[in-house]
């Protein structure tokens, strides 16, 4: 808590100062003179002492003081049009075909895993955090990666998976959620999450982001910025810290929203000096409601704290009847078009604070939905989604395919 103390420098007073000057004359006698002087009235003066830090991060960071990675890749003039690339693809033979694909289409960006879904660092980061070092696999040579990006004018985006982190949860159970047996909780897929209430988790992920920026990435994309899905059904059953939120008067839903939003605001502030954009992946359905009750995502509040918002609006991720469509995966154009009505309204209300919209689109077949509820996705379905975006004023997008196998022959530019 800040405190101030007043220190008195002087008191209002009138003082008389008497001085005696003694001069020795040439004949050896003394010549004594009495000198009397009166001072002026001294006004009482106070010095304010505060414990506030002398150096703080300014709201607008001067560009001349931002970190220069030495990697010179400009923001694409016609907007970012990118693909997802795993660390293993970036380090293997597949990278050649992906680069070739971008060189022969209007695609111009790659979202590369720096910290993956398991919590592993895909490349060496110059960090003195021991936990980061322990979780580093050195799959990708970052210097070679950036040389490839520069040579081919590919805009590099660093994907950092934040709160889904089995590695950190295993190393530091105190930063995770514990079940009734005192073990680190796992979801149905065997994945563990770390606790968004814990400040140390914030600092850990922002440290990863800072090191990624130093390598030359131009955009830091935070993914899984949320609590586990369905957390509202187990929040009172699991054991975990609420950190600075323990004394909050808000209900559990509001606390989760605050924790997630404030992490994003913290990350944005901490990265101001690194000359990168900050983007966040968010569930598309978050734009259609005030806030998501379990995972803590508030579309409007998160959007107000980032440079780019990337809604995951894959048609396969919407339930039957969502957005007025009986079987969403079968109608990629209509699904995206209907969704954008909601997003444009939310972002429009933010005015000048609205971020760039750069949605994730589907370039995979969701056969797991079952017969009659999915269709095979290829160039035509990808084009339908992009065309729907363009018709709603959005010219940036990212394509997701977990195996990095993208449809050939698609048209990516409808401007």
pLDDT, tens only, 130-141:
999 999 999 999
25 plus 69 within the same structural domain: no
> 320 and 211 in one domain?
yes
Separation of alpha carbons 104 and 401, rounded Å? 19
- Domain presence at residue 81: yes
Give the mean model confidence (pLDDT) for residues 37-63.
54
What pLDDT does residue 384 have? 98
| C-alpha distances in Å from residue 402, one per residue of 85, 107, 162, 171, 375 | 8, 18, 18, 27, 17
Q: What is the pLDDT of residue 60?
A: 58
Give pLDDT, residue 26.
42
CB 228 within 8 Å of CB 260? no
Give the CATH number, domain containing residue 388.
Answer: 3.20.20.80
207, 129 in Cβ contact below 8 A?
Answer: yes
Query: How many independent structural domains does the chain possess?
Result: 2
- pLDDT, mean of residues 124-128: 96
| Burial (0-12, 13-18, 19+ Cβ within 10 Å), 21 | exposed
- Does residue 56 lie in a domain region? no
pLDDT tens, position by position, 273-305: 999 999 999 999 999 998 898 999 999 999 999
Residue 57 belongs to some domain of the structure: no
Q: For residue range 92-116, what is the model confidence (pLDDT) as tens digits?
A: 999 999 999 999 999 999 999 999 9
Note the helical H segments in 69-138: 87-91, 94-103, 130-134
- What phi and psi, each to the nearest 5 degrees, are found at residue 201? -65, -40
Q: Residue 270: which of 192, 209, 331, 311 has the closest Cα?
A: 209
Given this model, what pLDDT does residue 209 score?
A: 98
- The band of 389, judged by pLDDT with boundaries at 50, 70 and 90, is very high
The pLDDT, as a whole number, for residue 414 is 82
Co-location of 21 and 127 in the same domain: no
Q: Is 358 exposed, middle or buried (0-12, 13-18, 19+ CB in 10 A)?
A: buried
Same domain, 225 and 149: yes
Tell me how far apart the alpha carbons of residues 284 and 311 are, in angstroms, rounded to a whole number: 5
Structural domain of 229: 65-400
How many helical (H) and strand (E) elements, i.e. helices and strands, does the chain have?
10, 15
**Contact status, residue 266 vs residue 294, Cβ threshold 8 Å:** no
């Amino acid at each position: 808590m800040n405190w101030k103390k007043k220190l008195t420098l002087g008191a209002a007073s009138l003082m008389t100062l008497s001085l005696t000057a003694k001069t020795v004359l040439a004949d050896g006698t003394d010549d004594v003179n009495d000198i009397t002087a009166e001072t002026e009235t001294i006004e009482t003066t106070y010095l304010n002492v505060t414990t506030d830090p002398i150096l703080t991060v300014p709201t607008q960071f001067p560009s001349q003081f931002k970190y220069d990675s030495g990697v010179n890749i400009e923001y694409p003039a016609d907007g970012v049009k990118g693909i997802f690339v795993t660390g293993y693809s970036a380090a293997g033979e597949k990278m050649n075909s992906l680069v070739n694909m971008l060189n022969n289409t209007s695609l111009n960006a790659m979202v590369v895993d720096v910290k993956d879904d398991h919590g592993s660092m895909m490349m060496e980061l110059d960090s003195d955090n021991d936990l980061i070092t322990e979780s580093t696999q050195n799959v990708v040579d970052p210097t070679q990666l950036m040389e490839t990006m520069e040579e081919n004018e590919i805009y590099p985006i660093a994907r950092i998976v934040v709160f889904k982190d089995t590695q950190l949860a295993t190393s530091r159970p105190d930063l995770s959620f514990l079940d009734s047996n005192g073990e680190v909780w796992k979801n149905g897929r065997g994945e563990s999450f770390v606790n968004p209430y814990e400040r140390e988790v914030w600092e850990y992920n922002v440290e990863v982001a800072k090191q990624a920026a130093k390598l030359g990435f131009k955009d830091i994309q935070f993914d899984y910025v949320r609590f586990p899905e369905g957390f509202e059904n187990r929040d009172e059953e699991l054991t975990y810290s609420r950190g600075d939120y323990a004394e909050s008067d808000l209900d559990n839903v509001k606390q989760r929203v605050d924790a997630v939003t404030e992490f994003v605001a913290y990350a944005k502030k901490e990265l101001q000096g690194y000359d990168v954009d900050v983007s966040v992946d968010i569930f598309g359905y978050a734009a259609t409601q005030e806030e998501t009750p379990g995972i803590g995502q508030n579309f409007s509040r998160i959007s107000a704290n980032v440079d780019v918002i990337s809604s995951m609006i894959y048609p396969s991720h919407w339930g039957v009847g969502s957005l007025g469509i009986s079987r969403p995966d079968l109608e990629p154009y209509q699904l995206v078009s209907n969704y954008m009505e909601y997003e444009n309204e939310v972002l429009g209300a933010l005015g000048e604070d609205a971020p760039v919209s750069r949605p994730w689109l589907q370039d995979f077949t969701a056969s797991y939905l079952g017969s009659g509820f999915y269709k095979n996705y290829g160039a035509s379905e990808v084009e339908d989604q992009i065309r729907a975006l363009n018709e709603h004023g959005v010219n940036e997008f990212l394509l997701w395919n977990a195996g990095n196998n993208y449809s050939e022959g698609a048209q990516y530019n409808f401007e």
